[in-house]
Structure 1
Amino acid sequence: MTSDTGTGTDTTGRGASGPVTEELDAVVLGAGVAGLYQLHQLRQQGLRVKAFDAAGDVGGTWWWNRYPGARFDSEGYIYQYLFDEELYKDWSWSQKFPAQPEIEQWLHYVADRLDLRRDIRFGTRITAAHYDEERGRWTVHTDRGDVVDTQFFVSCAGMLSAPLKNIEGTDSFAGELVFSSSYPAAGLDLAGKRVGVVGVGATGIQIIQTIAPEVGHLTVFARGPQYVLPMKNPTYTPEDQDRYKSRFEELRATIPHTFTGFEYDFEHAWADCTPQQRLDILEDIYQDGSLKLWLAGFGEIFFTEEVSEAVSEFVRGKMRDRLRDPHLIDTLVPTDYGFGTHRVPLENGYLEVYHRENVDLLNVRDNPIAQIRPEGVELSDGTVVELDVIILATGFDAGTGALTRIDVRGRDGRSLADDWGRDIRTTMGLAKHGYPNLLTTAVPLAPSAALCNMTTCLQQQTEWISGAIRDLAAEGKTVIEPTAEGEDAWVDHHEELVNATLVPKTTSWYLGSNVPGKPRRLLSYIGGVGTYRQKCDEEAANGYPTFTRR
């Protein structure tokens, strides 16, 4: 999860020529969780490497997303680097699910501990990266006029770092309008004001439940209902911190090999349980107050309609019991897709917010938002909701958006935006045919595009990239690129897994459905984090058979 390197990219540097200002072995795009570790590893190899980030400091998504209520829904003690025991144990989380300020402080701690800032260019947006086939090198341009000649271009730009800004009239609003992904660090004065929040995904939920008691009046514009699970977030005592730190070796041995990169995994088979046992298991896991019901309940929810419907109805029942009002239930409780077939947010009192007298819920599925006007939000039927503040939690162009908003050109001048605009294809989410020495994290067809505890997968991907670069140099070679046949084989494998599940039946950002014209494909590898790691390890151990190296 790294920086918003894609937001607001202009045409500066596109196709431009100019004197090279710096020669490097590797350029790393982004200084978040992946970028920091990638920079550290490549520097440890003795390479000349710099990271570039549009943000003002380290943190990636945790620098940009400062909206009220932003926090982990992965447990803090597993959302950490596991390559260094002292680095792990010398940081203590105050809660099970820490909030954004503490997460940002942790990433500052990592950057300072590893002395990374000296090789990071902050406030610098990469605008173009062009591959020179004759020289086997990339020319990278920035909005500050840098022209960097580099052997490797490594993207650590994050899977949710290209915000969607597709509502008309945002510039016309007379009040304050902000996107959740660029919420002001100093916050907004919302006391007593008429506030509108657009979007009830994971971000919208965190914002809504946090600001409702503060604002004068809150209007929520809800389109796609979400299954939600209640979060239990205890404060940690020193004894709690010592307890999880004592499990370091256990966590390091377990987390990278589970299905989703969390510490827990699927333990129960639906067919082996009686109806009462199933209900008892669901109730027990539900009370855990984590994502365990999604990621360690019954794995059959992804494959079997009967199981999906039973678990979905269990969660719907929990939500209906809390909502009570028919309008709220109709707007907020999903009925047309299965629980877990896309992102499941954790919440803390979110559903109860809608019982407050100062909160209105508007269902915009059938009466969509038409535009933003100076006085507020206009709906398709002509209704105008007058507001003082509008907060847009409208999602991202996930997986591909960060790189397609940059002018990335590979062999023969081919455009990555054009290629992914026709069909989203990669080799293991680590590289793209036609783009030699472009190595990637958190792009499509790897678990890190959605179905993974991000630090687990980003560590694994950056370690694979570092190993591939090291192995290439050891053999006296300078260029690595996936073969067309290897890419085809990975895409076929990916699609075979996807088509065996219920996930493609759900319309969501998991399939790029929130971006008009985006090719439909499940962005994330669904074969499991442990299986993916094994396949990546086999690729390297066998001499990179689906890559050309020269």
Structure 2
Amino acid sequence: MEGKTSMEKQGDGVLDALVVGLGITGIYQLHKLNQAGLQVRAVEAGSGVGGTWFWNRYPGARFDSESYLYAYFASEDLYKRWRWSEHYAGQPEIEAYLNEAVREFELTDLISLDTRVEAMEFDAERAVWNVRTNRGETITTRFVVPALGFLSRPLFPEIPGRDSFAGPQYHTGLWPDDAVDLTGKRVGIIGVGSSGVQLATEIADRVEHLTIFQRHPNWCTPLNNSAITDEEHAEIWDSFEDYHQRTLNSYGGFLEVPLEEPGAYAQHTPARRREMFDHIWKMRGSNKFFSNYPEVGAAGEANKEFCDYMAEQIRARVNDPETAELLIPDHAYGAKRPPFESGFYEIFNQPNVTLVSTLHTPIERITESGVSTTDGDHELDVLIFATGFRAVTGSYDAIDIRANGKKLTDQWADGPQTYLGIITPGFPNMLNAFGPQSPGGNAPRCAERICDFIADLVIEARRRDVSIVDAPEELARDYTDELAQQVAGTIYEKTEDWRSGSNIPGKKQVYMFYQAGLSQHTARLNAVEANGFEGFVFA
């Protein structure tokens, strides 16, 4: 899409709200604020909208949420007009859809592309935020709404010699718009998270040789993707309202269909449990978790039994026993966000694919000709980093955010503290759209009620004719303590994962999501709003 490249002043030059970031959440947030009749604009660092689906255009990038559940429900016409080709669409189709949504919501003229926010400071005397961009302009706004995304600041590992490599280097989270031809090349991929798994599977057949550098394996489960038939499309379109309500009232924003009640695991025989695992293994996507025994979501025997089942599947699909064992994780299923795969394990049966376990043979340095590990040199033509992101708070850390003599990075040094995942005390009028301490899962469904709430909160401030919205520190501490209690004793508490910041050296590990689920968080927001935005301070 084509947006503006500079911010136009209107009226007194002060916006009601500025949305920062135009991924799936930012687009919807801009739509809701604009729909409310507010004077609003949005800035986006990229040259196009889409966020994750603009930057992550590597071969094989696709949804791991069902396309029609990830889509916006704000327009029934758009929902029923758009025909997804697959249950889990690929990146080009997703990017095209998000551009169509911008046109549908009539947002194009409100958007400034190629505009990266460098600093934001709250002017307490005027009760406005002054937002400085890379274009040398300062935007003044009453409310600022970061919609920065959890996975939007790519992370490069600290490996000596990275700049010495003679060939092209890429990060899956910064993939170039121009076509990258990997045919006949010796390619190295560092990392086996979701992007590494998708990329490796996609390119293994066309490269001369693929070397995959793996530190920790993940529990990768079958996506079981397929084209959407005409009959399925008719059902999807007819289920518009039903799908919307079911996802909003779910734990993670999916069509979650538990097949067994709590307690069934202990009542079933091992053979019956095996039948259950066989059944869900053939189901699409996240059903491996949500349709499983509820006990699998806890740290205990049920989780271990399912892990043993998955390990069997890996051994059955990978011909070389030693390679198979290297691909089997030692953490509980679900403790780390599990990638979905479509033939990933089979690529290790190809003679042109090599797995290097950097736990056993660590990377020593990157050289001019490739990667040097303790077991020798691996010569490469192309080096790709699938090493993830400075997740959740990383994009906030990249902006110099200050208010009332405080810097946000200092305020969050021991982990983010917010009220409801929306506001950090002492940083008034900064309302986070699907930011730290929000529920995790299917992003647009988890973000939808938050964006609605933020729009309602800004409207309420106007109705009360107040200039400042804040929250007490005590409420943020209580909310943060509540999140810690939600994961205490669970599979999430101590496992090293990006959701707790453990992939960042030196970062304090704090679980940064509301783990009680989307429906409970939605109920919380509904109650707060029904009680006059209880807990928020209007001044």
Band of TM-score, shorter chain? over 0.9
CA–CA distance in structure 2, aligned partners of residues 265 and 454 of structure 1: 19
CA–CA distance in structure 2, aligned partners of residues 337 and 174 of structure 1: 37
Deviation at 1:171, TM superposition (A): 2.1
Map of 1:135 onto structure 2:
126
Q: Is the 8 A contact 1:72 1:99 kept in 2?
A: yes
SS at the partner of 1:503? coil
SS at the partner of 2:68? coil
Deviation at 1:159, TM superposition (A): 0.6
Q: Is the 8 A contact 2:469 2:538 kept in 1?
A: yes
Map of 2:335 onto structure 1:
341
Map of 2:5 onto structure 1:
none
Q: Are 2:320 and 1:325 equivalent residues in the alignment?
A: yes
Q: CA 1:310 to 1:156, structure 2 compared with 1: closer, same or farther past 3 Å? A: same
Deviation at 1:21, TM superposition (A): 11
Match of 2:379 among 371, 383, 386: 386
List alignment gaps of at least 5 residues for structure 1. Answer: 1-19
Please list, as runs of the form range in 1=range in 2, the aligned pairs for 1:217-232 lying within 5 A after superposition.
217-232=209-224
Q: Are 2:521 and 1:535 equivalent residues in the alignment?
A: no
CA–CA distance in structure 2, aligned partners of residues 428 and 267 of structure 1: 31
Deviation at 1:41, TM superposition (A): 1.1
CA–CA distance in structure 1, aligned partners of residues 55 and 188 of structure 2: 21
Length-normalised TM-score, structure 2: 0.95
Map of 1:11 onto structure 2:
none
CA–CA distance in structure 1, aligned partners of residues 109 and 363 of structure 2: 46
Deviation at 1:210, TM superposition (A): 0.4
Deviation at 1:235, TM superposition (A): 1.1
Q: Are 2:92 and 1:101 equivalent residues in the alignment?
A: yes
Q: CA 1:307 to 1:348, structure 2 compared with 1: closer, same or farther past 3 Å? A: same
Map of 2:538 onto structure 1:
549
Q: Which amino acid aligns with 2:208?
A: G
Q: Is the 8 A contact 1:219 1:360 kept in 2?
A: yes
Q: Is the 8 A contact 2:154 2:174 kept in 1?
A: no
SS at the partner of 1:354? helix
Match of 2:286 among 284, 287, 291: 291
Deviation at 1:166, TM superposition (A): 2.7
CA–CA distance in structure 1, aligned partners of residues 462 and 418 of structure 2: 23
CA–CA distance in structure 2, aligned partners of residues 484 and 202 of structure 1: 36
Q: Is the 8 A contact 2:319 2:349 kept in 1?
A: no
Q: Which amino acid aligns with 2:100?
A: Y
Map of 1:69 onto structure 2:
60
Deviations 1:19-62 (A, max 9, x none): x9942111101111111111111111221111101111111110
Map of 1:160 onto structure 2:
151
Aligned length: 525
CA–CA distance in structure 2, aligned partners of residues 408 and 364 of structure 1: 37
CA–CA distance in structure 2, aligned partners of residues 241 and 281 of structure 1: 28
Deviations 1:247-268 (A, max 9, x none): 1111112110111110114342
Q: CA 1:536 to 1:267, structure 2 compared with 1: closer, same or farther past 3 Å? A: farther
Q: Is the 8 A contact 2:60 2:199 kept in 1?
A: yes
Q: Are 2:27 and 1:27 equivalent residues in the alignment?
A: no
Deviations 1:292-338 (A, max 9, x none): 0112312222324111111111111112211142221221111x211
Q: Is the 8 A contact 2:418 2:480 kept in 1?
A: yes
Q: Are 2:363 and 1:363 equivalent residues in the alignment?
A: no
CA–CA distance in structure 2, aligned partners of residues 510 and 111 of structure 1: 30
CA–CA distance in structure 2, aligned partners of residues 134 and 367 of structure 1: 58
Q: Which amino acid aligns with 2:19?
A: V
CA–CA distance in structure 1, aligned partners of residues 171 and 518 of structure 2: 32
Give % identity: 34
Q: Is the 8 A contact 1:405 1:417 kept in 2?
A: no
CA–CA distance in structure 2, aligned partners of residues 269 and 278 of structure 1: 13
Q: Which amino acid aligns with 1:302?
A: G
Deviation at 1:70, TM superposition (A): 0.1
CA–CA distance in structure 2, aligned partners of residues 510 and 423 of structure 1: 11
Q: Is the 8 A contact 1:424 1:519 kept in 2?
A: no
Deviations 1:34-93 (A, max 9, x none): 111111111112211111011111111100000010000111110111122112111110
SS at the partner of 1:440? coil
CA–CA distance in structure 2, aligned partners of residues 329 and 246 of structure 1: 44
SS at the partner of 1:141? strand
CA–CA distance in structure 2, aligned partners of residues 410 and 511 of structure 1: 26
CA–CA distance in structure 2, aligned partners of residues 176 and 167 of structure 1: 18
Q: Is the 8 A contact 2:299 2:489 kept in 1?
A: no
CA–CA distance in structure 2, aligned partners of residues 442 and 517 of structure 1: 25
Map of 1:376 onto structure 2:
370
Q: Is the 8 A contact 1:226 1:333 kept in 2?
A: yes
Match of 2:306 among 294, 299, 311: 311
Deviation at 1:170, TM superposition (A): 2.5
Map of 2:481 onto structure 1:
492
Deviation at 1:384, TM superposition (A): 2.3
SS at the partner of 2:332? coil
